[in-house]
């Protein structure tokens, strides 16, 4: 992707954007310059709240409701996007300036067929006739390696998978042969195996058409594969900008280096110990749909076992079976040598207390009307009968333990950041004084730096309290950071289980290998190598 | 069988079951009405023997369970029974079958409901969609305020205001809507204008506000932002991208209001002397004409069930997830 010419396509100067909240206008983007040449791909990277999406949309002259552009200039070709009327901008949107959104599943209209949506803008603006546009769409579906490219367009959004939708959306963005595409975290919602496929297809098509693009993401390894230039944003300001290779090999700023710190976190594995919790040949089903097939997992005391696999592999269902939320069809859950009653109702308070769970969305796992103090007090009262001053003292102790402190006691969940919310959920689980905590994707909704903090906290708690973790995740970097043992799951079955070093080094079963090779590496040539190896047929890709 | 068809059949069967349960409730409710037909016809001065003899003649002395079985059994063969009225203590029987009494009244009610629906539904949709399109504009506020005003007044008040202006001061339409079976369609329509207008004013607000709210709640979804970023004009965003996903809640509210037009318009019928089924039922209740009351109540229940079924079907066929399963 280095077919750069000196032809400037987009020029943003000192762009300032404000958002309205708490009765006044707050700055979101604080004076950022951005220059993009024809055919150039610029990566915009930063944690959430850095203003990357806002800036990416502003590059199209678009602001979300409740936001406004308060300063600076935005020139796209001959058009001044700050002074252009809505009607003028609408003629550019969808044809010369297109957009690929983060969640394709939510961004397609559920009421229309895919090909109708793909071809809509091009037909409306008279770029193609209806039949030409549909033909072009089918061609692009093929180029994006979609299955049955001639038929898939006739389906409705709910009838195809998330990875396929993301590719259809890229096809939709490419169809009018735009000058610029804004990709807004297009693979964040995808499984790692699907992400690799989508990245390959997107990069190939952007290269073929020599389209300029702004690629927004929080994942440096991903942006390294896609971008010629990388710009790092923080708190609405530019940290640094450099050619992708330079940025990866020699980032200038400390902040940039910290962005991929979680990838450097690594736990020294400890040898296995006696088994505290075991899942013993469990089958489970939702209605008639079988989701777990003969699953056996062992969790040694004081250790961390990570369950990895893509969505639909049965990871979370395993957690539900252990918790007693979903009684298994066959098999049992064994805790300290004796079988647990299959359902929640059959379990004693002590049995419930000793296995706790932390959820992915800390937001929805807390009562929004309870203060942090009330949230943590609840298990203290329920399991230990602590009330009054004793409970309060214990809450303060737990708040210290999760590194938040006493001044959080009276806050509401809505006043906390994502990482702080997850810490409160950890404190709530700790309050029960459990032997085992099941962590279901607890870091996947968080920024990398925040992730690192949470993982360090969990490891410290393990060292101090001897808690065993069953850690469910789809992120291999997290697995490396925290686990002693790894379980690989695929389609409701355990593919393999063993110590971390053993699982992560070859030889691998077919699926483990696909999973591991799909994890983006901090090497700008990773995707190219992956493409080459997959084309050579050593590792057939799956849709 | 297509999943939609099987869903509809399932709902239809459930509807029949509901109707059956409703019939039990109706029967019990009617049995619990204070007083009885015998007393109502014969007057306060009648001897107890005379009333008892009359009750026996009508079968009212038999146990309630048997009377229910008789009624529901006849109903299953399409026989709504015979009205109590027309009989007298002198033994002369001029009573008529319930079906004969109800049918012309029901036809009138359905006619008025259809005329009103033909005006109110398109008007409400138009107002709702345009209010969503120009939300928070002066137009939106006027439409909201106007429809709220009309829904806030009692129906009879709206009716008398319309009679005052359109019936008396300007005399554009007749104040009395006493339609007859032999009238031509044009004349019927002309006579029905004021009651239809009154009912329109009463039901438009609810449907219009639901349409507006259903569309606006969709405008925050990511696929609408995507449509805007694809350069769709505000009009196309509403009509092409939001409206197709809003039909289910809109259809539910429309069905609710149409059912109201069938079952709840007795006040308007009285004001305009319109011979609808509502008036018939009120008369039957006051004269303790049990077969007529039961028949009317059952027809009302059936109207509710059918219209709600229709709304469900619209909800299904406008939802590709249900219409085209994976």
Q: At what angle do helices B277-286 and B290-317 cross, to 10 degrees?
A: 140
Q: What is the mean pLDDT of residues B158-163?
A: 92
Q: Is B321 on the interface with A (CB under 8 A)?
A: yes
Q: Is B232 on the interface with A (CB under 8 A)?
A: yes
Higher pLDDT pick, A466 / A260? A466
Higher pLDDT pick, A487 / A450? A487
User: Can you give the pLDDT at residue B74?
Assistant: 86
Higher pLDDT pick, A163 / B229? B229
3-class SS of residue A168: helix
Q: Which residues of B touch A158 (CB under 8 A)?
A: 320-321, 326
User: Can you give the pLDDT at residue A296?
Assistant: 94
Q: Is B326 on the interface with A (CB under 8 A)?
A: yes
Half-sphere exposure of A293 (CA within 13 A, CB side): 12
Q: Which residues of A touch B318 (CB under 8 A)?
A: 111
Provide the token pair at A102.
Answer: 């983060």
Among A240-249, A253-262, B205-214, B258-267, which stretch is predicted with the lowest mean pLDDT?
Answer: A253-262
Provide the token pair at B152.
Answer: 């806030």
Nearest CB to A110 within list B225, B228, B321:
B321
3-class SS of residue A298: strand
pLDDT in tens, A183-212: 998 887 777 888 888 888 888 888 888 899
Q: Is B21 on the interface with A (CB under 8 A)?
A: no
Of A275, A222, A285, A233, which Cα lies nearest the Cα of A255?
A: A233
Q: What is the mean pLDDT of residues B272-279?
A: 90
Q: Is A109 on the interface with B (CB under 8 A)?
A: yes
CATH class for the region spanning B107-275: mainly alpha
pLDDT greater than 90 at residue B179: no
Q: Is A60 on the interface with B (CB under 8 A)?
A: yes
pLDDT greater than 90 at residue A273: no
Provide the token pair at B233.
Answer: 């004009």
Average pLDDT taken over every residue of chain B: 87
Q: Is A171 on the interface with B (CB under 8 A)?
A: no
Q: CA-to-CA distance for A454 and A464, rounded, in angstroms?
A: 15
Q: Which residues does A104 contact at the CB level (< 8 Å), separation at least 6?
A: A157, A162, A165, A166, A168, A169, A186, A189
Q: Which residues of B touch A92 (CB under 8 A)?
A: 231
pLDDT greater than 80 at residue B33: no
How much is the ipTM here? 0.79
pLDDT greater than 80 at residue A225: yes
Q: Which residues of B touch A110 (CB under 8 A)?
A: 223, 245, 319-321
pLDDT in tens, A283-332: 999 888 888 999 999 999 999 999 998 877 888 899 999 999 999 999 99
How near does any CA of chain B get to the CA of A112, in Å? 8
pLDDT greater than 70 at residue A2: no
Percent of chain A scored above 90 by pLDDT? 54
Q: Which residues of A touch B241 (CB under 8 A)?
A: 109, 111
Q: Is A103 on the interface with B (CB under 8 A)?
A: yes
A312 conformational bin, left if phi > 0, alpha if psi -120 to 50, beta if neither: left
pLDDT greater than 80 at residue A268: no
Residue A391: pLDDT band with limits 50, 70, 90: very high
Q: Which residues of A touch B221 (CB under 8 A)?
A: 106
- Concatenated DSSP letters of A453-493: HHHHHHHHHHHHH--EEEEEES-HHHHHHH-SEEEEEETTE
In which residue are the tokens 């209605």 written? A287
Burial A399-433, CB ≥16 within 10 A → b, else e? bebbebeeebbeeebeebebbbbbbbbbbbbbbbe
Q: Is A8 on the interface with B (CB under 8 A)?
A: no
User: Can you give the pLDDT at residue A4?
Assistant: 44
Among A142-146, A276-280, A341-345, which stretch is predicted with the lowest mean pLDDT?
Answer: A142-146
Q: CA-to-CA distance for A44 and A186, rounded, in angstroms?
A: 13
A281 conformational bin, left if phi > 0, alpha if psi -120 to 50, beta if neither: left
User: Can you give the pLDDT at residue B90?
Assistant: 59
Q: Which residues of A touch B225 (CB under 8 A)?
A: 64, 101, 107
pLDDT greater than 90 at residue A84: yes
pLDDT in tens, B304-326: 999 999 998 898 888 888 888 77
Say if residues B61 and B52 touch (Cβ distance below 8 Å).
yes
Higher pLDDT pick, A540 / B102? B102
User: Can you give the pLDDT at residue B89?
Assistant: 55
CB within 8 Å: B229 and A94: yes
Q: Which residues of A touch B320 (CB under 8 A)?
A: 110-111, 156, 158
Q: Which residues of A touch B226 (CB under 8 A)?
A: 99, 101, 107-109
Nearest CB to B321 within list A94, A112, A158:
A158
Q: CA-to-CA distance for A12 and A35, rounded, in angstroms?
A: 6
Q: What is the mean pLDDT of residues A249-274?
A: 77
User: Can you give the pLDDT at residue B93?
Assistant: 67
CB within 8 Å: B245 and A110: yes
Of A209, A181, A185, which Cα lies nearest the Cα of A9?
A: A181
Q: Is B3 on the interface with A (CB under 8 A)?
A: no
- The gap from C-alpha A240 to its chain's centroid, in whole angstroms, comes to 24
Residue B226: pLDDT band with limits 50, 70, 90: very high
Q: Which residues of A touch B231 (CB under 8 A)?
A: 89-95, 121, 124-125
- Concatenated DSSP letters of A109-155: -TTS-HHHHHHHHHHHTTSS-HHHHHHHHHHHHHHTT-SSTTTGGGS
Say if residues A136 and A175 touch (Cβ distance below 8 Å).
yes
A485 conformational bin, left if phi > 0, alpha if psi -120 to 50, beta if neither: beta
- Concatenated DSSP letters of B12-77: HHHHHHHHHHHHHHHHHHHHTSSS-HHHHHH-TTS-HHHHHHHHHHHTTTS-HHHHHHHHHHHHHT
CB within 8 Å: B223 and A108: yes
- Concatenated DSSP letters of B159-179: HHHHIIIIIIIS--S-S----
Residue A5: pLDDT band with limits 50, 70, 90: very low
How near does any CA of chain B get to the CA of A11, in Å? 20
- The gap from C-alpha A248 to its chain's centroid, in whole angstroms, comes to 21
Q: Is A236 on the interface with B (CB under 8 A)?
A: no
Q: Is A95 on the interface with B (CB under 8 A)?
A: yes
User: Can you give the pLDDT at residue B36?
Assistant: 67
User: Can you give the pLDDT at residue A416?
Assistant: 86
Q: Which residues does A134 contact at the CB level (< 8 Å), separation at least 6?
A: A115, A119, A153
Residue A123: pLDDT band with limits 50, 70, 90: very high
CB within 8 Å: A158 and B326: yes
Average pLDDT taken over every residue of chain A: 88
Of B224, B222, B248, which Cα lies nearest the Cα of B133?
A: B224
Nearest CB to A107 within list B226, B232, B324:
B226
Task: Determine the residue among A60, A111, A178, A312 to mutate to test chain B binding: the one whose Cβ has the most chain B Cβ atoms within 10 Å.
Answer: A111
Q: Is A151 on the interface with B (CB under 8 A)?
A: no
Q: Is B223 on the interface with A (CB under 8 A)?
A: yes
Q: Is A154 on the interface with B (CB under 8 A)?
A: no
The residue extents of the domains of chain B are 1-96+287-326, 107-275
Nearest CB to B229 within list A93, A112, A120:
A93
Q: CA-to-CA distance for A153 and B99, rounded, in angstroms?
A: 55
Q: What is the mean pLDDT of residues A458-482?
A: 89
Nearest CA in chain A to B232: A90
CB within 8 Å: A93 and B228: yes
Nearest CB to B221 within list A89, A93, A106:
A106
CB within 8 Å: B321 and A124: no
Q: CA-to-CA distance for A453 and A442, rounded, in angstroms?
A: 12
3-class SS of residue B183: coil
Q: CA-to-CA distance for A276 and A291, rounded, in angstroms?
A: 25
Q: CA-to-CA distance for A356 and A466, rounded, in angstroms?
A: 14
Q: What is the mean pLDDT of residues B52-81?
A: 83
3-class SS of residue A20: strand
Residue A522: pLDDT band with limits 50, 70, 90: confident
Of B121, B108, B302, B307, which Cα lies nearest the Cα of B199?
A: B121
Among A438-447, B102-111, B296-305, which stretch is predicted with the lowest mean pLDDT?
Answer: A438-447
Q: Is A99 on the interface with B (CB under 8 A)?
A: yes
CB within 8 Å: B226 and A99: yes
> How many cross-chain Cβ pairs, A to B, lie less than 8 Å apart?
75
Nearest CA in chain B to A109: B223
Q: Where are the alpha helices (DSSP H) in A403-447?
A: 418-431
Higher pLDDT pick, A264 / A343? A343
Neighbours of A366 (CB within 10 A): 21
Residues in chain A: 543
Q: Is A359 on the interface with B (CB under 8 A)?
A: no
Among A158-167, A473-482, B42-51, which stretch is predicted with the lowest mean pLDDT?
Answer: B42-51
């Amino acid at each position: 992707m280095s077919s750069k010419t000196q032809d400037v396509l987009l020029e943003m100067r000192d762009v300032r954007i404000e958002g309205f909240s708490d009765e006044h206008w707050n700055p979101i983007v604080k004076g950022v310059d951005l220059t993009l040449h024809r055919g150039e791909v610029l990566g915009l990277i930063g944690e959430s709240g850095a203003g990357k999406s806002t800036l990416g949309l502003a590059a199209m002259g678009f602001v979300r409701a409740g936001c406004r552009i308060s300063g600076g200039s935005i020139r796209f070709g001959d058009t001044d996007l700050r002074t252009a009327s809505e009607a003028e901008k609408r003629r550019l949107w969808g044809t010369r300036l297109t957009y690929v959104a983060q969640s394709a599943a939510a961004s397609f209209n559920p009421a229309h067929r895919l090909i109708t949506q793909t071809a809509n803008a091009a037909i409306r603006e008279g770029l193609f006739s209806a039949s030409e546009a549909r033909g072009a769409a089918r061609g692009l579906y093929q180029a994006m390696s979609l299955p049955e490219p001639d038929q898939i367009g006739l389906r409705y959004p709910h009838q195809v998978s998330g990875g396929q939708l993301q590719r259809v959306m890229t096809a939709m963005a490419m169809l009018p042969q735009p000058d610029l595409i804004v990709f807004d975290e297009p693979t964040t919602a995808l499984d790692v195996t699907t992400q690799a496929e989508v990245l390959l297809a997107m990069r190939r098509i952007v290269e073929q058409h020599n389209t300029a693009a702004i690629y927004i993401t929080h994942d440096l390894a991903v942006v390294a594969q896609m971008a010629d230039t990388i710009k790092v944003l923080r708190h609405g300001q530019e940290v640094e900008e450099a050619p992708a290779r330079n940025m990866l090999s020699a980032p200038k700023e400390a902040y940039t280096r910290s962005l991929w710190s979680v990838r450097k976190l690594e736990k020294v594995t400890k040898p296995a110990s006696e088994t505290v919790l075991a899942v013993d040949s469990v089958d489970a089903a939702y209605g008639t749909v079988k989701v777990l097939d003969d699953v056996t997992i062992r969790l040694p005391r004081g250790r961390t076992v990570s369950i990895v696999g893509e969505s639909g592999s049965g990871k979370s269902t395993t957690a539900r079976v252990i918790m007693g939320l979903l009684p298994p069809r066959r098999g049992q859950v064994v805790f300290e040598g004796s079988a647990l009653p299959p359902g929640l109702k059959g379990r004693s308070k002590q049995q419930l207390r000793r296995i706790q769970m932390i959820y992915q969305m800390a937001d929805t796992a807390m009562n929004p009307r309870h203060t942090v103090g009330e949230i943590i007090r609840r298990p203290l009262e329920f399991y230990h009968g602590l009330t009054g001053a004793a409970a309060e003292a214990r809450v303060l102790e737990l708040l210290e333990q999760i590194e938040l402190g006493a001044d959080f006691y009276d806050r509401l969940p809505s006043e906390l950041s994502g990482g702080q919310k997850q810490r409160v959920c950890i404190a709530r689980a700790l309050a029960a004084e459990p032997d085992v905590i099941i962590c279901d994707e607890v870091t996947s909704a968080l920024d990398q730096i925040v992730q690192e903090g949470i993982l360090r906290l969990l490891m410290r708690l393990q060292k101090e309290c001897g808690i065993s973790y069953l850690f469910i995740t789809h992120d291999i970097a997290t697995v490396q950071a925290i686990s002693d043992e790894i379980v690989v799951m695929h389609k409701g079955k355990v593919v393999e289980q063993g110590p971390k070093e053993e699982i992560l080094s070859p030889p691998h079963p077919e699926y483990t290998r696909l999973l591991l090779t799909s994890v983006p590496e901090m090497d700008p040539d990773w995707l190219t190598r992956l493409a080459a190896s997959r084309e050579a047929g050593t590792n057939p890709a799956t849709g | 069988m297509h999943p939609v068809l099987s869903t509809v059949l399932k709902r239809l069967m459930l509807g029949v079951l509901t109707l059956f349960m409703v019939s039990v409730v109706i029967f019990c409710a009617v049995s619990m009405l204070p007083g009885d037909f015998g007393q109502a016809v014969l007057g306060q001065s009648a001897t107890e023997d005379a009333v008892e003899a009359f009750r026996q003649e009508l079968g009212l002395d038999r146990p309630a369970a048997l009377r229910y079985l008789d009624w529901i059994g006849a109903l299953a063969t399409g026989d709504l029974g015979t009205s109590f009225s027309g009989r007298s203590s002198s033994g002369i029987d001029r009573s008529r079958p319930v079906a004969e009494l109800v049918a012309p009244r029901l036809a009138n009610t359905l006619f008025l409901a259809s005329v009103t629906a033909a005006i109110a539904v398109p008007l409400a949709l138009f107002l709702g969609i345009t209010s969503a399109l120009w939300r928070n504009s002066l137009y939106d506020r006027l439409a909201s305020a106007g429809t709220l005003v009309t829904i806030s007044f009692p129906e009879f008040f709206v009716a008398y205001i319309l009679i005052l202006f359109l019936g008396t001061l300007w005399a554009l339409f007749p104040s009395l809507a006493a339609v007859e079976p032999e009238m031509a369609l044009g004349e019927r329509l002309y006579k029905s204008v004021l009651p239809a207008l009154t009912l329109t004013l009463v039901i438009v607000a609810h449907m219009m506000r639901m349409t507006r709210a259903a569309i606006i709640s969709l405008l925050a979804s990511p696929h609408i932002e995507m449509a805007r970023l694809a350069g769709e004009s505000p009009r196309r965003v509403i009509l092409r991208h939001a409206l197709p996903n809003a039909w289910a809640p809109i259809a539910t509210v429309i069905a609710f209001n149409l059912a109201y037009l069938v079952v709840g318009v007795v006040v308007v019928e009285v004001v305009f002397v319109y011979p609808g089924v509502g008036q018939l039922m009120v008369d039957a209740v006051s004269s303790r004409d049990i077969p007529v009351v039961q028949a009317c109540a059952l027809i009302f229940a059936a109207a509710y069930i059918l219209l709600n079924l229709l709304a469900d079907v619209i909800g299904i066929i406008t939802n590709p997830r249900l219409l085209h399963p994976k």
